[in-house]
Amino acid sequence: MGKSKKIVPVLQPTFGDTGEMIRKFQRLFESRQITLGTYTRELEQAVSDYLGVPHVVAVSSCTSGLILALKALRLEGEVILPAFTFAASAHALVWCGLRPVFCDCDRETLSIDTRRAEELITKRTAALMPVYIFGSAPDWEPLERISKKHSIPILADAAQGLGASYQGRKAGRFGAVEIFSLSPTKIITAGEGGLITTRDGDLARTLRKLRDYGKAEDGEDMEMIGLSARLSEFHAVIALENLKWIDVWMEKRRGLIDTYREGLEGIPGIRYPTLPEGSSSSWNYMVLLIDNEIAPFGRDDLYLRLKEKGIQTKRYFYPPAHRLAVYREMLGPDLPPLPATELISGQALALPLYSHMSEVDVRAICGSIRSCA
């Protein structure tokens, strides 16, 4: 039997002190307190301290966090969000009876086009939902100006953004509420899970009830229609140990991205997303933008040729949210023309990146890309 080909995954979770995790798991088994216990509270406090935000609510996923936050804000009508995003952003809106209004993206930062977003506001607009694309903060200054001018709240899908910042303020301190993911594809993972951040104490109390079915404080009566969206203590332990490494891992990933860019320098038709002025990224993804008319290979051609070499990549976000079958059917003739989103969706390719990755592997991938030229 021939030797199997080594597969380089596009994403892998990185873990901190697994020995300490296992010791804490053992204590959980012995205590039988495996939900809404000590470690969940410790995680919420640790994230609160790290981000400088007063209220953090741990939940079972970013998607459940989005749904709960939308419910807690009592929104009705339409919400403006970028079409260049993962489906969950729009799915959460529909689950809450809200209509997604898809907005084009900026061709350089790939974040929501704030000028176009303001043009889409009508009397039916209930909120804005910017997204942290590939870990980079959106352009918060114009978003906050628009929010104030039109008296509409901002709810941010910050799934990929834990650790990012904008003009000296860490992600989690913007808008009415921000929601982060702790899934295996994120720089800090809990296995599965999410975090909701807010500066509003009343909203935080509502969210804590909603994540536990809507229970009253006595634990018996029901005050709201909530979900079973608690984060288990096991997941909280994983996130706690990993959170200790966030700054180290972000710096490591930034270095790997620099290595990628050095290794691919000079290939025509390749560029990279830029950051809004004064912002930083969590460096959750390494993404190329490939001009299919100038580069020596097309985006889809490179995707397939690297796959043959055992290197996984991801066409991201492809299709964009408004082109997914469910939203094409929902919007029908109202499907908006979004030229920047259509362009970027046909150019973006995520390359392998994880915090324990070696520079040797990065250089080897760059060599494989160059061999496709």
* Res. 95: pLDDT tops 60: yes
CB 116 within 8 A of CB 104: yes
Average pLDDT, the chain: 96
pLDDT confidence band for 6 (50 / 70 / 90): confident
Q: What is the pLDDT of residue 20?
A: 97
Taking only the tens place, the pLDDT of each residue in 17-66 is 999 999 999 999 999 999 999 999 999 999 999 999 999 999 999 999 99
Taking only the tens place, the pLDDT of each residue in 116-131 is 999 999 999 999 999 9
Strands (DSSP E) along the chain, which ranges? 55-59, 78-82, 99-103, 125-128, 155-157, 165-166, 169-170, 177-181, 194-198, 270-271, 279-280, 286-290, 314-315, 348-351
CB 281 within 8 A of CB 246: no
Peptide bond into 320 cis (omega under 30): no
Rounded-to-5 percentages of helix, strand, coil across the chain: 40, 20, 45
* Res. 302: pLDDT tops 50: yes
Share of the chain above pLDDT 90, in %: 94
Q: What is the pLDDT of residue 2?
A: 44
Does CATH place domain 18-103+111-243 in 3.40.640.10? yes
CATH of 246-371, one of 3.30.365.10, 3.30.390.50, 3.30.1050.10, 3.90.1150.10: 3.90.1150.10
* Res. 70: pLDDT tops 70: yes
pTM beyond 0.75? yes
For 65-68, the CB contacts below 8 A with 24+ separation are 65/179, 65/180, 65/194, 65/195, 65/196, 65/229, 66/92, 66/155, 66/157, 66/179, 67/92, 67/95, 67/96, 67/227, 67/229, 68/196, 68/207, 68/210, 68/211, 68/226, 68/227, 68/229
Radius of gyration of the chain (CA): 21
Q: What is the pLDDT of residue 1?
A: 39
CB-facing half-sphere around the CA of 365: CA atoms within 13 A? 30
Domain spans, the chain: 18-103+111-243, 246-371
